[in-house]
Amino acid sequence: MTQTQPTQDEEQPRPGRWGLVAVTWTLVGIPLLWGVYNTLRKALALFE
Amino acid sequence: MAGLLSRERIIAGSGFNRWLVPPAALAIHLSIGQVYAFSVFKIPLSRAIGITQSTAGDWKFTQLQWIFTLAIVWLGLSAAIAGRWLERAGPRKGGVVAACCWGGGFVISALGVRLHQLWLIYVGYGFIGGWGLGLGYISPVSTLIKWFPDRRGMATGMAIMGFGGGALIAAPLSDALMKHFATATSVGVSETFLTMGIIYFVAMMCGAFGYRLPPTDWKPAGWSPPAQQRVLVTTKHVHVDRAWRTPQFWLIWIVLCMNVSAGIGILEQASPMIQEIFKGAVTASAAAGFVGLLSLFNIGGRIFWASLSDLIRRKPTYFIFFTLGAVLYASIPFAGKIGSVPLFVACCLVILTMYGGGFATIPAYIADIFGTQFVGAIHGRILTAWSAAGVLGPFLVNYIREYQIDHGVPKADAYNLTMYVMVGLLVVGFFANLAIRPVAEEHYMTDAQLATERRLIHEPNAGKT
């Protein structure tokens, strides 16, 4: 009996990896959002 | 250590989630994007001795300007010089070297400020840091394009968005750190450089160690290349040493150079321009807000236009940049004439989205035309267009403005001619883009050449093409 191995392009990420994806995106997202928030605060002067 | 950084060590295992790669790229691009916020150090550095005001022996703005210029020039040069090495060494090794250069550049500059030796800052931030910029900028490009063959534009757009976003983080961070470290005898720049060097080194190392390469010819699950091959999307590969001898290379170079020159002209003069055109109606703080908004739209444009280019393809995307851009530049003098601040602001904001979009879409355009095998190295060489635009754009804006004022044109109208010159640049870009055709068959690598190249970089399955 032969076993069929999934080919490289058929492999799906393990469910746990999505948790890691969320963590890494949060790590880079927080400083970026902080920067956007600071810039928007300063930009409000244009509309005053 | 060498093994730890090698390409073979970072081939992704089964079940690796490709969405882990963009945050790694962002960690690097958000760090090196600090370069756009370097101006926050200019005033404190010009008072390094006098503390509250510039005094004898303090550095002048004209001397300090060279720090940023050197860094940008070396960004382009190092990307062009080291692109091919990086392609073979792999993104992790490239990322680690970039982290050492960028972090190390800050540390050397901190020493330069402490000892009041400007040449140390030129060497540290300008030269060594410049290498960190170039290597860091191109390190994820090739990797992301291979992980996202279905969404090349969006993938590289995400990373290159980080380069714009880096300044948004660095400006307030630098400000806060300088306030924290400032004393009666120090402006706090040395300590700030040291702290930022350490922060960026750690962030970039995390990014570099987060990189993974897909196995050769990997495809996302459920995706297969379009059955009918698109005209300007090749499945073959052009060698980096061959690419620059093709007309397509120079046409793309002109496309990038014209798009960036026009955008940089607005960016560089944004604050004085809005205040002079709408004299009395726009205050200095409102102008600063306008500059902040331009940065946000520059970043937003990177992800928006690059993602859109996946749907409408690259050539039409640049056609939009050049046609819509020309209309908007031509509208700016009209907005000034009728005194409409909202129209002026709206035109500039859309222009800046296309400036950012031009940067973010170019790697995918290169991959479409030259294939993916050397996309990082070819991108590195095309980035010299950025260095050229960095000189051309500001030179045109400043020179034409001065010329106009010297010839009696009121300051409020002195930008009109500049805007029409920018339209001219965009017309040149339009025709360069129009002339782009698929690369001639003779320039593509043969299967044997491709296999040899893949063996050289130790790609698994190198023999299979």
- Chain A CB contacts of B24 under 8 Å are 24
Whether ipTM exceeds 0.90: no
Measured CA to CA, the distance from residue B436 to residue B458 in angstroms comes to 33
Of A9, A24, A48, the CB nearest to B219: A9
Sign of CA dihedral B195, B201, B202, B203: positive
Model pTM score: 0.89
Q: Cα B212 to the chain's mean position, in Å? A: 22
For B218, nearest residue in chain A (alpha carbons): A9
B43 min Cα distance to partner chain A (Å): 20
Of B15, B219, B292, the CB nearest to A13: B15
Contact A46 B290 (CB under 8 A): yes
Is pLDDT larger for residue B415 or for residue B97?
Answer: B97
Measured CA to CA, the distance from residue B10 to residue A21 in angstroms comes to 17
Pick the closest to residue B167 from A14, A32, A23, A11 (CA basis): A32
Q: What is the pLDDT of residues B380-425, one digit of tens each?
A: 999 999 888 888 887 888 788 888 888 888 888 888 888 999 999 9
Is pLDDT larger for residue B31 or for residue B219?
Answer: B31
Band (B120; pLDDT cuts 50, 70, 90) = very high
pLDDT over threshold 90, residue B118: yes
* Residue matched to tokens 């698929």: B438
Residue A16, classified by CB atoms within 10 Å of its CB into exposed (0-12), middle (13-18) or buried (19+), is: exposed
Spell out the residues 6+ positions from residue B258 whose beta carbon is closer than 8 angstroms to its own.
B322, B389, B425, B426, B428, B429, B432
For A43, nearest residue in chain B (alpha carbons): B289
Measured CA to CA, the distance from residue B359 to residue B33 in angstroms comes to 13
pLDDT over threshold 50, residue B376: yes
**Predicted local confidence at residue B95, as pLDDT:** 97
- Here the tokens at position B291 are 């500059």
Q: CB distance from B289 to chain A under 8 Å?
A: yes
- Chain B CB contacts of A47 under 8 Å are 289
Which residues 325-354 in chain B show a CB within 8 A of chain A?
Answer: 345
Q: CB distance from B140 to chain A under 8 Å?
A: no
Q: What share of chain A is helix, strand, coil (3-state, %, to 5)?
A: 75, 0, 25
Most confident of A37-46, B51-60, B117-126, B383-392: B117-126
For B162, nearest residue in chain A (alpha carbons): A32
Residue-averaged pLDDT of chain B: 91
- Chain B CB contacts of A36 under 8 Å are 165, 168, 296
For A41, nearest residue in chain B (alpha carbons): B289
Rounded to whole angstroms, what are the CA distances from A6 to A12, B103, B220, B222, B461?
A: 10, 42, 13, 13, 17
Contact A27 B210 (CB under 8 A): no
Contact A8 B24 (CB under 8 A): no
- Which residue of A5, A7, A12, A28 to mutate against B (max B Cβ within 10 Å)? A28
Most confident of B163-172, B280-289, B310-319, B402-411: B310-319
DSSP string of B317-355?
HHHHHHHHHHHHHHHHHHHHHTT-HHHHHHHHHHHHHHH
B170 min Cα distance to partner chain A (Å): 8
Of B17, B285, B345, the CB nearest to A18: B17
A2 min Cα distance to partner chain B (Å): 20
